[in-house]
Structures are given as structure tokens and as C-alpha cells.
Amino acid sequence: MSASSIVNSAQKPTPTYAQKALAKLGLVRDIDFALHLPLRYEDETHMTALRDARHGETVQIEAVVTSCEIQSKGKRQLVVTVVDGEPLGRGVACTLRFFNFYPSHQRALAVGERLRIRGEVKRSLLGLSMLHPSFKPAGGDLAQVLTAVYPTSAGLPQGYIRKAVWGGLLRATQRGDLSETLALPQLPSLQAALELLHHPTPDVSVATLEDRSHPAWQRLKAEELLAQQLSQLQARRERAKMRAHTLPVRIAPVGIRPSTSSDRTADGLPEQLLGVLPFALTHAQERVQREIATDLTQSKPMNRLLQGDVGSGKTVVAALAAAQCIAAGCQCALMVPTEILAQQHFAKLVGWLEPLLAARGLSVAWLSGTQKTKERREMLAKIASGEAALVVGTHAIIQNKVTFTKLALVIVDEQHRFGVAQRLALKEKTQGTMHPHLLMMSATPIPRTLAMSYYADLDVSTIDELPPGRTPIVTKIVAMAKRDEVVRRIIDQLKAGRQVYWVCPLIEESEAVDLVNATETHAALQAALHRALPSARVALLHSKVPALEKKALMQAFEKNDVQVLVSTTVIEVGVDVPNATLMVIEHAERFGLAQLHQLRGRVGRGLAASACVLLYATNDSGKLGDAAKARLKAMVDTTDGFEIARRDLHIRGPGEFLGARQSGAQMLRFADLSQAPDQAWLKWAQATAPVMLDSAPQMAARHIERWLPSGASFMGA
């Protein structure tokens, strides 16, 4: 038992607390406990003499405490000396150090106590030592199997969760919850696989258990991937039974813009929109627009993900889909994560569509949580009457008071920022039995393997081409110590008539501190720039700035009335100021890779050369963490969003990459789709799922129920 375990076990968690803590870990049903697998294993099946212990090796020893004292010189610590071997005094001494300890530890480690101790041995000129080893009283038989160490939460010691998991496994076995749902003769049965993984014998290779290559692990990966594919195929088939409004359109051949009246359908709104755009569509935009337009003509709901790099032109494709919807006499809702992004879309869409809609007695409305009552009431009335053919807004769109007359298309921008429940709430705004078409947009491209797995129930359209005229962005990594050089670079840009973003990090846990940092940065920049350019205006934008003031600041920046915008990440998406040519990101090591790439995409939108400066700070040891180093290197190496996405997935793993940990969606726990063997199991699952669903639907339902908590789904399935 570890030092911390002694304290925890002395105060056993109350049943209510334990139940809540277990539920937080997803442990509710017996099968949940059975599938809660160890993080690692400790070998307590044999003893090692200290004289035989190698440096860096984790061993179990039996020894007697010869001294125990608290040392206050330097960092306060409990220092314990033990000696193994018989008779006492003829063995080898080892020093145990504890930086976190309690009086109960001192009692358990009193002089003369004989203990079993397990830890990593370090050899130095001062002899042998262990840091924070686990320990328990000596005596009793040695373990016959490897000791499992489980994922847990605060207040639940290993002994408690181990007992709970093994109890759940036993009950699940006795009730037949682990009975076979598929035949995989080359692998152990599910029950045998789980028994082995929870209670491995010493002859099983720990390496194959911990790298998850053991056949028992392969069985679990195959079952999990099959459950995922069954769940998503079932969702796709259910969706195929639903009915949606058919939104007709004539699709012109690629590269040909409709111009004659015979080419127009409904009232010709999509074609008229194409005619007023100040640019031509790229080939990629034309291709995905045709894919979406074809879907909208169907009587079953579209369920499509539109992905494209920063600046690839997803908004205009969404506008064309909205125009097709409106031309058919229906309403379209566009939901975005932030008010600034809502206003950006609102301004663009109004500029393109409002004159065309006004001629038809229609308008564009927008909703946000900070609107004044009168304005909001007017917008709600327009939406309810059908006058507002396009509604742009934040999550305020899904509130109960918002009533549509004929909602046929829902567009969700930056879809990874919304949970599944929020997307469903918007889909339920339709009347009667009809379901809306759903178009989800993302500026974080999804690697193909993930798209095949997590978005198997979605059709994916990809804009893989940037519009002409986008200026390449040079990215530089600069230490915080050279901040003055960056300020001189800003002055050069301002003298050339350009504008600059300076982004400060905002971390939820330390929001107050970070707002102070942003305020101090703003004041320091203002002072430095005032000496060189007295007329330069520096503005500060963060989440605490009132909505109307935020809007005014952004408009001032767009008009070049503000030259430098110091901001937290509220400007991450949607902001489009072509005259801004320099992006400075302070404490870039704190940001995620996708976030850094999104921020960089705010510059390079005009014809002038643009740059992104990543200011970084090292830790107390003067180093950058490996993950932070990998993120910054990726930013310098490439501006390709798809390559950025591939590296981001490698650094963060799929759960954080897809936003699933935030949205509460079900993730793969065991399969790792960056590994070739697991990709092979994915292909097997994709081939097996339709056969199983068709030939053994009840077995398929049981298989899904085993792997998914009630009411859950894999991603948006």
C-alpha cells in the first residue's frame, strides 16, 4: 500500500461519495466495471535482494526500518533507512524519501517495522535510494498474479476500486453479460480476455499487456470497433427513414456559372448570389457546393461535414446552401460559437444576401445572448413569421422562445465547439415529422482514418484548395527575452500602414491572472508605441468587455481606426481584416496546435507579406515541454492545415482533437487508430457491421448495449 493509500484507506469513502466518484469514471453497470481495465501492472509475485537490484529497476524487497526522521534542511522530507537480508545488519541499506507524508506514515515506518517495499531503485555514490515507494507490512503469501493498477479519481484508493472492479467482473460473468456476440476463433473469448487482463499470471509478458498488443487486447479492440461501426451504421439507417424538405436546384456543370433564365430554378436565388459575389469560386468550392446541393434535393436529411483549412472559403459555400434553402421557400439557421463570429458571418451574409432577399420581402436575422430586449423581440417576431429567411446566431438560437415556421437547413460552424445535445436541440426546431438537413463546418481538417471511424455516419466534403491571392505566412519562434525586438517589428509594420494582432493566453483556471497579464501587455505596448508613433491606437479586447464595446472595437479595427489589437482568443475564428499583417502570440507554448493554426489564419488575408511570431517562455529548468516543442515546430514546418491536423492528432490523441472530452461524446477507449494493426481491425469492423446488423439484429443490439452506456453514442451517431 502506498503512503497516500494508508491515509485514504484509513478514511474509507462514504457509499454516496464512492458511488458518485465511480459514476464520474463511467462505472455504473457491472459490464462497465468489467471493461474498466488496468493502466499498468505491478509485479508482487517475487522478492528481489537489494544487492541484485539494477539502477532504474522497479523491485519488491522485504526489509527492516533502521531509522526514520524528518529532515527540514532544503525541502522538508521524511527520510527512512531500511536494511534487507538475514540476519539483520548483514544486508544492504536503502534510503526511502517521501516529500508528501503524514503522521500516519511515520507510525507505519517506525524503527523495527518489517515491511514489503516496492519502488524504483536508484544507485549513486551515496548508495541505494527509492523515491515515494509503496509499502505494506511484511508477511503473508506472495501474490500469484500481477497486481493491476486502475485509473481512479480522488478519494478512491486502489484497494477500493480494485475490489469494485473485480466484483463487477464476477457479477457480469455469472449473469452471462460476457457471453459471445461474435466469433473470432483466432483470439480468446471476451470473458477469457477480461480475466487475463484483470488477473495476469507472471508468465504473461507485461510489455504486451502495457503496449496493448496481447491477443486479449486485440479481442477488446475488435469488439469496441465493431460496436462503434454498428452504432453509426444504425444511426445512418435510422436517418435514411427520416423525411426532410426537398430543396430543388439546377446544378450547373463544373466551371460554368448559370446565367440564362432557363438555368434557374425556384426564384434563381443561388445563381443571383453567385452573380453578386466579388470573386469566382475555386474548383474545390464548386465541387463541394455541388455535393451539398445534390444532398439538399433529397427527401432524406443531409448529414454532411464540410471541412476546409482556415480561409478556404467555407462561408460562401454555406451561403449558397442557404440560398438554395431560401429559394425553395424555407428557412435556414446558422449557429456559431461566439458573438464576434456571429457578427462576422452576419456582416458577410447581409452584404451578399440582403439586397436579394429584400426584393422578395425577406430578411436576415441574428440572435445572441446579449441583445437588448426590444431588438431581440423584433428578431423573434421576424423568425416566427417567416420573414427572416436566414437566422445567424450563437447558442441563443436553440432557446425555447425561438420558433421557426419552416426550418429546413441547419448549418453549424466550428462544430467541434458544440456538444451533441446542442446540435440535436437545433435540429428539433423543425415542425411536425420533418427533420432539417444538417451541414456541419470545421476549420480543423479531420485525418482520413478518424473520419472513417468517428464520422462514419457523416458524409464528408473537403475544400482542399485555397482561393488565389492568399499571401504565404512566415512563422517565427522567438523567446520572450527578445520581446523588445518584436515591438520594433510592430513599429515597422505600423509605419508601413499595416495593423497587428497581439494575442494573450486565457486559461479558465486562472482567468483573473490572465486578464491582468492581457491588461499589462496592453499598457506596455501602448507606452512603447506611443514613444515611436504617438498617433498609434492600441485596443484591448477580452471576454469581460461588454458586447456592444466589443463590437465597436472590432469595427474600429476593421476600419484601421485601431492599429494594434491586444486580445485573448476571442479573435480566434471568423475575424477578417486584410490589412492585418502581423500576428504575435504570447506564451505560444500554452496554446494547442489547432488553436495556433486558427490564430495564424487571421493574417495573410491581403496582398502584403504577413508573419506570425510565436513568443514562448521556458519552465523553471529553462526548457520547453516535449509536446509544446512539437507544436511550435509543426507551426514553423508547415502552413498546411491537413498536415497540422495530422500532427495535432499525434500530439493530443483523438479525444482532445475531436473535442469529444468536452462534448461528452463516447470515444474509443482501447483502439488506437494511429496504429496499423488497429486500422486493420477498423476495416474488419466496417465490413462486419452491415452483415451482423442484417443477419443478427438482436445480437447486434446486445453488442452495442454492452459497449455503450444507455443513451450514449459514438460521437454524433
Res 294: pLDDT: 95
Q: How confident is the model at residue 97 (pLDDT cuts 50, 70, 90)?
A: very high
CA distance 600 to 666: 31
- The pLDDT assigned to 1 comes to 37
pLDDT surpassing 80 at residue 25: yes
Select the CATH number that applies to the domain covering 3-196 from these four: 2.40.50.140, 3.40.190.10, 2.40.50.100, 1.10.274.10.
2.40.50.140
Is beta strand 473-479 parallel, antiparallel or unpaired with respect to 77-84? unpaired
Query: Sorting pLDDT into bands at 50, 70 and 90, what band is 415?
Result: low
Give the confidence band of 571 by pLDDT, cuts at 50, 70, 90.
low
Query: With pLDDT > 90 as the criterion, what percentage of the chain qualifies?
Result: 43
**What does pLDDT average to over the chain?**
83
Cell 505560444 sits on residue: 588
Q: How many residues does the chain have?
A: 717
| Arithmetic mean of pLDDT, 158-163 | 90
C-alpha 367/C-alpha 159 separation (Å) is 52
The three-state secondary structure class of 330 is: coil
What residue spans in the chain does CATH classification 2.40.50.140 cover? 3-196
Per-residue exposure over 239-278, b if at least 16 CB sit within 10 Å of its own CB, e if not = beeeebbebebebbeeeeebeeeeebbbbbbbbbbbeeee
| Dist. CA 717–CA 713, nearest whole Å | 6
- Please name which of 635, 612, 498, 516 lies closest in space to residue 557, comparing C-alpha atoms: 498
Instruction: Give the pLDDT of residue 283.
Output: 93
Q: What is the pLDDT of residue 173?
A: 95
CA distance 306 to 410: 13
Where are the CATH 3.40.50.300 domain residues in the chain? 261-463, 473-638
Query: E strands, 354-425, where?
Result: 363-367, 388-393, 407-412
Question: In the predicted model, is pLDDT for residue 36 greater than 90?
Answer: yes
pLDDT-derived band at 509, boundaries 50, 70, 90: very low
How large is the average pLDDT for residues 328-345?
80
- pLDDT at residue 518 is higher than 90: no
pLDDT of residue 708: 82
Q: What secondary structure does DSSP assign to 196-253, as a single string?
A: HHHS--TTS-HHHHHTT-SHHHHHHHHHHHHHHHHHHHHHHHHHHHSB--------PP
Res. 221: pLDDT tops 90: yes
Name which residue leads in pLDDT, 307 or 691.
Answer: 691
Element (H, E) at 82: strand 77-84
Q: Of residues 35 and 659, which shows the higher confidence score?
A: 35
> Would you place residue 262 in the very low, low, confident or very high pLDDT band (cuts 50, 70, 90)?
very low
Question: According to the model, what pLDDT value does residue 261 have?
Answer: 36
Structure confidence at residue 260 (pLDDT): 37
- With cut-offs at 50, 70 and 90, classify the pLDDT of residue 577: confident
Asked whether the predicted pLDDT for residue 172 surpasses 50, the reply is yes
Q: How confident is the model at residue 258 (pLDDT cuts 50, 70, 90)?
A: very low
**Residue reference for cell 463544373:** 254
The residue type of 408 is: A
Span 50-73, mean pLDDT? Answer: 92
- Return the pLDDT at 265: 41
For position 66, what pLDDT does the model report? Answer: 93
Please tell me whether residue 297 adopts helix, strand or coil conformation.
coil
Question: Given this model, what pLDDT does residue 699 score?
Answer: 95
- Torsions phi, psi for 687 (to 5 deg): -75, -35
Summarised one tens digit per residue, pLDDT across range 183-201 is 899 999 999 999 999 999 8
The whole-angstrom separation of Cα 31 and Cα 573 is: 42
At 96, is the pLDDT very low, low, confident or very high (cuts 50, 70, 90)? very high
| Exposure letters 540-553 (e unless 16+ CB within 10 A, then b) | bbbeebeeeebeeb
Residue 281 has pLDDT above 50, yes or no: yes
Q: 521 is written with which cell numbers? A: 501587455
| Burial 687-713, CB ≥16 within 10 A → b, else e | ebbeebbeeeeeebeebbebbbeeeeb
Nearest to 300 by CA among 386, 390, 404, 408: 408
Which of 190-199, 367-376, 572-581 has the weakest average pLDDT? Answer: 572-581
Residue 230, number of CB atoms within 10 A of its CB: 27
At residue 23, what are phi and psi to the nearest 5 degrees? -65, -35
Q: Which CATH number fits domain 473-638: 2.60.40.10, 3.40.630.30, 3.30.70.260, 3.40.50.300?
A: 3.40.50.300
Residue 438 near residue 299, CB atoms below 8 Å: no
For residue 707, the one-letter residue type is: W
Would you place residue 645 in the very low, low, confident or very high pLDDT band (cuts 50, 70, 90)? confident
- Distance, in Å, from the CA atom of 697 to the CA atom of 704, rounded to the nearest integer, reads 11
First vs last C-alpha separation in the chain? 43
Q: Is it the case that residue 121 has pLDDT exceeding 90?
A: yes
Domain 261-463 has CATH 3.40.50.620: no
Q: In whole angstroms, give the CA distance from residue 142 to residue 456.
A: 49
**pLDDT of 354 strictly over 90:** no
Half-sphere exposure of 267 (CA within 13 A, CB side): 15
Query: Is 80 exceeded by the pLDDT of residue 147?
Result: yes
- Cis upstream peptide for 87 (omega within 30°): yes
From CA 538, how far away is CA 565, in angstroms rounded?
Answer: 6
Task: With beta carbons less than 8 A apart as the criterion, state whether 531 and 554 touch.
Answer: no
DSSP characters over 127-146: EEEEES-EEEES-SPPPSSP
Highest mean pLDDT among 12-21, 192-201, 525-534, 706-715: 192-201
Query: What pLDDT shows up at residue 565?
Result: 92
Q: 502: which 3 cell numbers?
A: 497581439
Q: How confident is the model at residue 654 (pLDDT cuts 50, 70, 90)?
A: low
How many angstroms separate the CA atoms of 78 and 72, rounded? 9
DSSP state of 385: H
Nearest-angstrom CA–CA distance, 592 and 598? 10
Residue 366, pLDDT > 80, answer yes
For the beta carbon of residue 667, count every other beta carbon within 10 angstroms.
16
Q: What's the pLDDT score for residue 507?
A: 46
DSSP per-residue letters across 631-644: HHHHHHH---HHHH
Q: Helix, strand or coil for residue 116?
A: strand
Whether the predicted pLDDT of 456 surpasses 70: no
What is the pLDDT confidence band of residue 693, given thresholds at 50, 70 and 90? very high
The pLDDT of residue 530 is above 50: yes
CA 377 → CA 366, 374, 396, 424, distances in Å? 11, 5, 13, 24
* Identity of the highest mean pLDDT range in 7-16, 119-128, 460-469: 119-128
Residue 91: what pLDDT? 84
| pLDDT for residue 256 | 40
- The candidate with the shortest Cα–Cα distance to 614, out of 583, 573, 637, 645, is 583
Angle in degrees, CA 512, 395, 547, rounded to 5: 50
Confidence (pLDDT) at 10:
37
Which one has a higher pLDDT value, 153 or 635? 635
User: Who contacts 157 (Cβ-Cβ below 8 Å, separation ≥6)?
Assistant: 4, 5, 8, 9
Tell me what pLDDT residue 238 has.
86
Q: Which of 28-42, 329-343, 677-691 has the lowest mean pLDDT?
A: 329-343
- Quickly list DSSP for 542-568: -TTS-HHHHHHHHHHHHTTS-SEEEE-
- In terms of DSSP H, where are the helices of 359-445? 373-385, 420-427
pLDDT of residue 575: 64
For strands 134-137 and 407-412, give the pairing.
unpaired
Residue 253: pLDDT band with limits 50, 70, 90: very low
Question: Who has greater pLDDT, 594 or 404?
Answer: 404
Which letter does DSSP use for residue 480 in this model? Answer: G
| Cα four-point dihedral sign 135, 136, 141, 146 | negative
Indicate the pLDDT class of residue 3, thresholds 50, 70 and 90: very low
